[in-house]
Protein backbone atom coordinates (compact mmCIF):
# COMPACT_ATOMS: atom_id res chain seq x y z
CA UNK A 1 0.00 0.00 0.00
CA UNK A 2 1.59 3.24 1.15
CA UNK A 3 4.94 2.36 2.70
CA UNK A 4 5.74 5.87 3.96
CA UNK A 5 2.72 5.92 6.30
CA UNK A 6 3.27 4.45 9.74
CA UNK A 7 0.08 2.86 10.96
CA UNK A 8 -0.29 2.71 14.74
CA UNK A 9 -1.22 -0.57 16.48
CA UNK A 10 -4.59 -1.86 15.24
CA UNK A 11 -7.13 -4.11 16.93
CA UNK A 12 -9.57 -5.92 14.63
CA UNK A 13 -13.12 -6.35 15.90
CA UNK A 14 -15.45 -8.49 13.82
CA UNK A 15 -19.16 -8.13 14.50
CA UNK A 16 -19.75 -9.99 11.25
CA UNK A 17 -17.70 -11.32 8.38
CA UNK A 18 -16.46 -14.49 6.80
CA UNK A 19 -13.31 -16.38 7.70
CA UNK A 20 -11.99 -15.47 4.25
CA UNK A 21 -12.47 -11.75 4.98
CA UNK A 22 -10.72 -12.12 8.34
CA UNK A 23 -7.75 -13.86 6.73
CA UNK A 24 -7.45 -11.45 3.78
CA UNK A 25 -7.83 -8.34 5.95
CA UNK A 26 -5.22 -9.61 8.42
CA UNK A 27 -2.81 -10.36 5.55
CA UNK A 28 -3.42 -6.94 3.99
CA UNK A 29 -2.76 -5.12 7.27
CA UNK A 30 0.37 -7.17 7.91
CA UNK A 31 1.71 -6.48 4.41
CA UNK A 32 1.09 -2.77 5.04
CA UNK A 33 3.28 -3.11 8.17
CA UNK A 34 0.33 -2.28 10.43
CA UNK A 35 1.01 -3.78 13.85
CA UNK A 36 -1.95 -5.98 14.82
CA UNK A 37 -2.60 -6.41 18.52
CA UNK A 38 -4.64 -9.10 20.28
CA UNK A 39 -5.60 -6.92 23.23
CA UNK A 40 -7.76 -3.85 22.63
CA UNK A 41 -5.92 -2.05 25.46
CA UNK A 42 -2.74 -2.12 23.33
CA UNK A 43 -4.44 -0.58 20.27
CA UNK A 44 -4.32 3.00 19.09
CA UNK A 45 -6.94 2.25 16.43
CA UNK A 46 -9.86 -0.16 16.48
CA UNK A 47 -11.10 -1.33 13.09
CA UNK A 48 -14.63 -2.71 13.41
CA UNK A 49 -16.18 -4.84 10.69
CA UNK A 50 -19.94 -4.41 11.11
CA UNK A 51 -21.15 -6.37 8.10
CA UNK A 52 -20.05 -8.25 5.04
CA UNK A 53 -22.83 -8.96 2.56
CA UNK A 54 -22.91 -10.49 -0.85
CA UNK A 55 -25.77 -11.11 -3.18
CA UNK A 56 -26.91 -11.36 -6.73
CA UNK A 57 -29.88 -10.27 -8.76
CA UNK A 58 -31.14 -11.14 -12.18
CA UNK A 59 -30.26 -8.58 -14.84
CA UNK A 60 -31.70 -10.29 -17.88
CA UNK A 61 -33.52 -13.38 -19.06
CA UNK A 62 -33.59 -15.05 -22.46
CA UNK A 63 -36.68 -15.57 -24.61
CA UNK A 64 -37.38 -18.84 -22.80
CA UNK A 65 -37.49 -17.06 -19.44
CA UNK A 66 -34.14 -18.46 -18.24
CA UNK A 67 -31.63 -16.25 -16.50
CA UNK A 68 -28.90 -15.11 -18.85
CA UNK A 69 -27.17 -12.41 -16.79
CA UNK A 70 -26.66 -11.63 -13.10
CA UNK A 71 -25.39 -8.65 -11.16
CA UNK A 72 -23.25 -9.57 -8.17
CA UNK A 73 -22.95 -7.21 -5.21
CA UNK A 74 -20.42 -7.23 -2.38
CA UNK A 75 -20.74 -4.82 0.55
CA UNK A 76 -18.43 -4.15 3.48
CA UNK A 77 -19.46 -1.87 6.36
CA UNK A 78 -16.78 -0.76 8.81
CA UNK A 79 -15.85 1.85 11.41
CA UNK A 80 -12.60 3.07 12.93
CA UNK A 81 -12.20 4.59 16.36
CA UNK A 82 -9.16 5.62 18.35
CA UNK A 83 -8.06 4.37 21.78
CA UNK A 84 -10.10 7.09 23.50
CA UNK A 85 -13.24 5.91 21.69
CA UNK A 86 -13.44 8.85 19.27
CA UNK A 87 -15.06 7.70 16.05
CA UNK A 88 -12.78 8.47 13.10
CA UNK A 89 -14.78 6.64 10.42
CA UNK A 90 -18.43 5.92 11.19
CA UNK A 91 -20.22 3.00 9.55
CA UNK A 92 -18.65 3.54 6.15
CA UNK A 93 -19.90 1.30 3.38
CA UNK A 94 -17.96 0.20 0.35
CA UNK A 95 -19.96 -1.59 -2.33
CA UNK A 96 -18.68 -3.44 -5.37
CA UNK A 97 -20.84 -4.60 -8.29
CA UNK A 98 -20.06 -6.83 -11.23
CA UNK A 99 -22.20 -8.27 -14.01
CA UNK A 100 -21.69 -11.68 -15.52
CA UNK A 101 -23.34 -13.84 -18.14
CA UNK A 102 -24.88 -17.05 -16.85
CA UNK A 103 -24.88 -20.16 -19.02
CA UNK A 104 -27.18 -22.83 -17.63
CA UNK A 105 -25.43 -25.46 -19.76
CA UNK A 106 -22.19 -24.75 -17.87
CA UNK A 107 -23.39 -24.39 -14.30
CA UNK A 108 -20.07 -25.46 -12.72
CA UNK A 109 -18.09 -22.97 -14.79
CA UNK A 110 -20.61 -20.23 -14.02
CA UNK A 111 -20.40 -21.03 -10.31
CA UNK A 112 -16.62 -20.80 -10.42
CA UNK A 113 -16.80 -17.48 -12.27
CA UNK A 114 -19.19 -16.14 -9.62
CA UNK A 115 -16.87 -17.24 -6.79
CA UNK A 116 -13.87 -15.59 -8.48
CA UNK A 117 -15.83 -12.37 -8.98
CA UNK A 118 -16.81 -12.31 -5.29
CA UNK A 119 -13.16 -12.90 -4.33
CA UNK A 120 -12.11 -10.02 -6.57
CA UNK A 121 -14.81 -7.72 -5.16
CA UNK A 122 -13.78 -8.61 -1.58
CA UNK A 123 -10.19 -7.68 -2.38
CA UNK A 124 -11.29 -4.42 -3.99
CA UNK A 125 -13.44 -3.56 -0.95
CA UNK A 126 -10.54 -4.28 1.41
CA UNK A 127 -8.29 -1.99 -0.63
CA UNK A 128 -10.92 0.78 -0.52
CA UNK A 129 -11.15 0.36 3.26
CA UNK A 130 -7.35 0.50 3.57
CA UNK A 131 -7.25 3.75 1.56
CA UNK A 132 -9.76 5.26 4.02
CA UNK A 133 -7.71 3.99 6.98
CA UNK A 134 -4.50 5.46 5.52
CA UNK A 135 -6.30 8.77 4.93
CA UNK A 136 -7.35 8.93 8.59
CA UNK A 137 -3.88 7.97 9.81
CA UNK A 138 -2.31 10.64 7.58
CA UNK A 139 -4.77 13.32 8.72
CA UNK A 140 -4.10 12.46 12.36
CA UNK A 141 -0.34 12.59 11.81
CA UNK A 142 -0.63 15.94 10.03
CA UNK A 143 -2.74 17.32 12.89
CA UNK A 144 -0.17 16.31 15.52
CA UNK A 145 2.11 19.17 16.55
CA UNK A 146 5.67 18.63 15.44
CA UNK A 147 7.86 17.54 18.31
CA UNK A 148 10.91 19.69 18.69
CA UNK A 149 13.66 19.58 21.23
CA UNK A 150 13.19 21.97 24.11
CA UNK A 151 15.69 24.82 24.07
CA UNK A 152 18.52 24.27 26.48
CA UNK A 153 19.14 26.88 29.12
CA UNK A 154 22.73 27.69 29.80
CA UNK A 155 22.30 30.09 32.69
CA UNK A 156 25.67 30.92 34.23
CB atoms within 10 A of CB 24: 16
Q: Which residues are CB-neighbours of 61 under 8 A, at least 6 positions away?
A: 67, 68
3-class DSSP state of 151:
coil
Alpha-carbon distance of 140 to 85, in angstroms, equals: 15
Residue 133 lies in domain: 10-140
The answer to whether residue 136 is domain-embedded is yes
pLDDT at 1: 43
- Does pTM surpass 0.75? yes
Mean pLDDT of 33-58: 95
Does residue 127 lie within any of the structural domains? yes
Domain count, the chain: 1
Q: 116: domain CATH number? A: 3.30.160.150
Residue 3 lies in a domain: no
In this predicted structure, the answer to whether residue 51 has a pLDDT above a threshold of 90 is yes
- 110 within 8 A of 103, measured Cβ to Cβ: yes
Distance CA 21, CA 77 (A): 12
78-131 pLDDT tens trace: 999 999 999 999 999 999 999 988 877 776 677 788 899 999 999 999 999 999
Residue 141 is predicted with a pLDDT of 80
Residue 23 lies in a domain: yes
Contacting residues for 51 by C-beta, under 8 A, at least 6 apart: 15, 16, 17, 75, 76, 77
The β-bridge relationship of strands 87-101 and 67-82 is antiparallel
CA distance 44 to 137: 11
Q: Does some domain include residue 152? A: no
Mean pLDDT, residues 19-42 taken together: 95
Decide if 1 is inside a domain.
no
Look at residue 72 and tell me whether its pLDDT is greater than 50.
yes
**Is residue 92 a part of any domain in this protein?**
yes
141 or 121, higher pLDDT: 121
- The reply to whether 27 falls in a domain is yes
pLDDT of residue 21: 97
Amino acid sequence: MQADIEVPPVYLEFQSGSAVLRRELTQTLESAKAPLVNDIADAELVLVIHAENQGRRVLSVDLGGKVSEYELQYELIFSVRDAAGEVLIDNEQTTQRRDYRFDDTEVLASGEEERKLFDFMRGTAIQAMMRRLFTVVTQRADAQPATTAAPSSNAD
